[in-house]
Structure 1
Amino acid sequence: MTGRPAPAVLPPSLRTWLGLIAVLAALVVVVLGVLYAGHSEPGRVDRWVIQPTADSVGPPWRDVALATDFLGEPVGAAMLVVAAVTGCLLLRRPRAAVLIVAGVSLTVGASTLLKSLVGRTIHGEDNLSYPSGHTAFFTALALMVALLATGRLCLRRTAGMLLVLAAALAAGAAMGWAQVALGAHYPTDVLGGWCTALAVVPATAWLVDRMADRLVDRTADAGRRQPR
């Protein structure tokens, strides 16, 4: 006897479009990384958007920026991940819980690796800035929650894409603003972090679905081979 197959974490209706977006996002990450490799000053685009300093904003908006920034710090990020995984398990979506853990790990790992490879700094040689890990994490988490909601609500392609992109844009804009306002990153660092999440999450979701489906198939084959 076989149960109902677990819902895919990457809805089939969104695979093509999110795949294309992931490829474009990866290209943006690479191009920006090459352009700003080894730099320690804001570029032309950064100066056009805003000159990041430690006092770019004052109260009460600085308090809002600090609170948002906390959600990307280890303690705040861990709280969000635990809450998201718990929600997935309560909704009986273990595959989505696996995606949350894997997606966050790979996104943060990718941004950390890119920082070392690119070597762009801000406020000193020890402060690697490209891409913004805070923005990458927060965007990735929002993307994965939106994917879960899309599958849970059985949204069609257009509605699903709008939800996923709106969640990614809102999360990236909120955390990106906080990072620039606090002088922790240049605007192009934020864009790089946002695109890192857009590149990593769809690929991770596809891999989670692929591995989970293979595991289910192997389990089913083993069950059929057992003597009755």
Structure 2
Amino acid sequence: MTGRPGPAVLPSWLRVWFVLMACLAAPVVLVLGAVYADESEPREWDMRIFAAVDGVGPPWRHVAVVTDFLGEPAGAVLLVAAVVTGCLLLRHPRAAVFVVTGAGLTVGTTTLLKPVVGRTIHGDNLSYPSGHTAFLTAIALMVSLLAAGRLGLGRAAGTAFVFAAGLVAGAAMGWAQVALGSHYATDTLGGWCTALAVLPVTAWLVDRTADRLTDRWAGLPAHPPDEWTAGPPCDRRAERRADAGRQQGS
């Protein structure tokens, strides 16, 4: 018999959709990276979207600044720490590992892709894909996944809830990045797709690793054999000679 140290982070009813999501998102990241490689100016779509959101004033600019902070190092650490603390309070260590791993791999992927693509904004600032957008999308997907399982949402409602959370989070951070002039719109699309491509792989790795560790622990005997707990061989030989001497003396 095997057991789980908590429910799977990726429910079985969502696996097919997540695999499909990753298969669609990964090519988008690569194609956009190839199209905008080594560029330093916005193209037509970027200019149109920037014109639509440029010049945002209070209170929406404050909203954009707060949203942007969630993707900054300090804000990201606080957000991850809060989610991990919630997972541990709910006694779901696998989910805590998933959050840390998912956030790390998503941000790490965007960090590795930026110098490869070489797209810049405001001088030499690497911009593609947007790490802020990828991070918040990943957090939203992971939290909604865990919430859907915790709330016992059905297949249809749970799937809609998870994808809606990822879409809203990506759109919110993408808007903030363009409104503040930190990224081109296509950078944020690339960041959003990066999270969609990385999260399914992360969930599969976390579940598979946790299940293997559980199976390994379950295969150990409940009480170790005597030789596991006995002393060195010389000590055991001495004990046998002492027992033989006591038997002869009696």
TM normalised by structure 2 equals 0.86
Task: Provide the C-alpha distance between the structure 1 equivalents of 2:11 and 2:197, rounded to a whole number of angstroms.
Answer: 16
For residues 156-171 of structure 1, what are the structure 2 equivalents within 5 Å?
156-171=154-169
Following the alignment from structure 1 to structure 2, what is the Cα–Cα distance between the partners of residues 128 and 51?
A: 21
User: Where does the alignment leave 5 or more consecutive residues of structure 2 unmatched?
Assistant: 227-250
Alignment-derived partner of residue 132 in structure 1: 130
Q: Could you tell me which residue of structure 2 aligns to residue 83 of structure 1? A: 82
Distance in 1 (CA, whole Å) between partners of 2:201 and 2:155 is: 18
Unaligned runs of 5+ in 1: none
Measured in 1, the distance between the counterparts of 2:158 and 2:221 equals 36
What's the CA shift for 1:62?
1.3
How far residue 193 of structure 1 moved from its aligned partner, in angstroms, is 0.5
Q: Tell me the distance in 2 between the aligned counterparts of 1:4 and 1:22.
A: 26
Question: How far off its partner does 1:48 sit?
Answer: 2.9
Match of 1:113 in 2: 112
> Please, what is the CA RMSD of the aligned residues?
1.9
Q: 2:144 maps to which residue?
A: 146
Counterpart CA distance in 2 for 1:18 and 1:142 is 14
Would the alpha carbon gap of residues 192 and 3 (structure 1) be closer, same or farther in structure 2, given more than 3 Å must change? Answer: closer
1:227 Cα shift?
4.0
Match of 1:190 in 2: 188
Is 1:69 equivalent to 2:68 in the alignment?
Answer: yes
Contact 1:52 1:182 in 2 (8 A): no
Mark the structure with the bigger radius of gyration: 2
Q: Deviations over 1:175-219 (max 9, x none)?
A: 111000000000000000001111111110111000000000001
Q: Which amino acid aligns with 1:176?
A: G
Alignment of 1:14-29 (within 5 A): 14-29=14-29
Amino acid of the residue matched to residue 109 of structure 1? Answer: G
Distance 2:127 2:3 in 1: 47
**TM-score, normalization: structure 1?**
0.94
Q: Give 1:154 shift.
A: 2.2
Tell me how far apart the structure 1 counterparts of residues 217 and 112 of structure 2 sit (CA, whole Å). 36
Match of 2:76, as an amino acid?
A
